[in-house]
Amino acid sequence: MWWFYALLSAFFASLTAIFARLGVAGISSNLATGIRTLVILVLVWGIVWFKGEQKELSALPKNAVFFLVISGLATGLSWLFYFKALQVGNVSQVAAVDKLSVALTIVLAVVFLNETLSLRTAIGALLIIAGTFILIRS
């Protein structure tokens, strides 16, 4: 079932790029990111409250909170740079180069999470890296 959610994520991520490019036209990319973040904040917390999951807040392990906070910082920086790139670049190139994160994630998962790297995954990551360099140089 994971692949279904991953496909939905990819679909909505592609819509994000298109709508964000239209949204950053004529305004600060930081303001655009702030507006997007506010919408996400309201949407996600609405879902949390609707499902009653806010009750779990008091039982969160400290290490989970720490890693979620630094993940949030990384996400925020990613979004700020992504919106700036969308403002000055072509969506097709920015979105494709942004997917270099897939290859970087594979490498980091092997190094920090001790995940196994199969030959197929390594080849896929190398192809993503090669494709990224081709896009940057074109």
pLDDT at 138: 73
Round to whole Å and give the CA distance between 132 and 102.
11
In this prediction, residues 36-52 reach a mean pLDDT of: 96
This prediction's pTM: 0.83
- Residue entry with tokens 């979004």: 79
22-44 in b/e form (b: 16+ CB < 10 A) is ebbeeeebeebbeebeeeeeeee
Any residues with CB less than 8 A from the CB of 24 and at least 6 apart, and which? 32, 83, 86, 87
Q: What is the DSSP letter of 28?
A: -
**What's the pLDDT at 24?**
92
Separation of alpha carbons 113 and 84, rounded Å: 31
Q: For the chain, what is the mean pLDDT? A: 93
Task: State the Cα–Cα distance between residues 33 and 99, nearest whole angstrom.
Answer: 19
Q: What is the DSSP letter of 1?
A: -
Residues 96-109 have pLDDT tens digits of: 899 999 999 999 99
pLDDT above 80 (res 75): yes
Banded model confidence at residue 121, pLDDT cuts 50, 70, 90: very high
